[in-house]
Amino acid sequence: MSHDAPDQRLDRPRSLGQNDSGLNAAELLRVFVGFRAKLERILHGRLQSRDTAQDLAQETCLKLLRVAEQFPSEDDARRYLVRMAVNAATDHHRTEGRRAELLAGLVELFDQTQPGPEDALVARDEVAQLERVLAELPPKCRDVLYLSRVEGMTHAEIAGVLGVSKSLVDKYAVRALLHCRERLKIQT
């Protein structure tokens, strides 16, 4: 490999089959939980929003778990986490810029739109399905998800409220999100 060529490991993981001895999902989750605070600081520095940084860090973890067996070491997984987080922050900036442009001229249109009866029925069905999926979660996972996503609390604040470690809150949040993604068939 020449010194001029970029290190491909930072841009994307090895393809499946190249590394049969990679980290499993549990090992990657441990890496993520241990590295999460630093990842959130990196994202917060780029985005200036703690909530968005936490959300993108969580999404990064979910993406990392999809390619779990592709990392031969924890250092490779951490480097890939940082690369994914930086890319997620860049994508977020682009998306927010496009969203602002699109919404600038459409506010009036949306203000005049009234939902129809079929919209209410679809929304009711979606809420019922979400309630069923949430009811399947253990109470602590459900509490963490609620306090984080609805009440807007940080994981450190949730840890204080529930009397558990921040690391355990991180694990509960990942478990809850993975469960909801699987049961609701959400694509990331």
| Domain edges within the chain | 1-113, 114-188
What CATH class does 1-113 carry? mainly alpha
Task: Give, as one character, the DSSP assignment of residue 150.
Answer: I
- Could you tell me the pLDDT band of residue 171, with boundaries at 50, 70 and 90? very high
- Could you tell me the pLDDT band of residue 160, with boundaries at 50, 70 and 90? very high
- Could you tell me the pLDDT band of residue 61, with boundaries at 50, 70 and 90? confident
Q: Among 47-61, 71-85, 93-107, which is the least confidently predicted range?
A: 93-107
The share of the chain scoring above pLDDT 70, in percent, equals 80
pTM equals 0.44
**Interval 111-159: pLDDT, tens:** 666 777 888 888 899 889 989 999 999 999 999 999 998 899 999 999 9
Tokens 């592709």 locate to 70
Cα Rg, the chain, nearest whole Å: 19
d(CA 165, CA 163): 7
User: Contact, 69 vs 24, CB < 8 A?
Assistant: yes
- Average pLDDT of the chain is 80
**Interval 86-114: pLDDT, tens:** 898 998 888 888 877 777 666 666 666 67
CATH numeric code, 114-188: 1.10.10.10
In sequence order, what DSSP letters do the residues of 83-144 get, joined into one string? HHHHHHHHHHHHHHHHHHHHHHHHHHHHHT----HHHHHHHHHHHHHHHHHHHTS-HHHHHH
Question: Do 1-113 and 114-188 have matching folds?
Answer: no
10 has a pLDDT exceeding 70? no
121: Cα within 13 Å, side-chain hemisphere: 3
Q: Residues 44-50: what's their mean pLDDT?
A: 89
DSSP alpha helix (H) spans, 2-73: 8-11, 25-47, 50-66
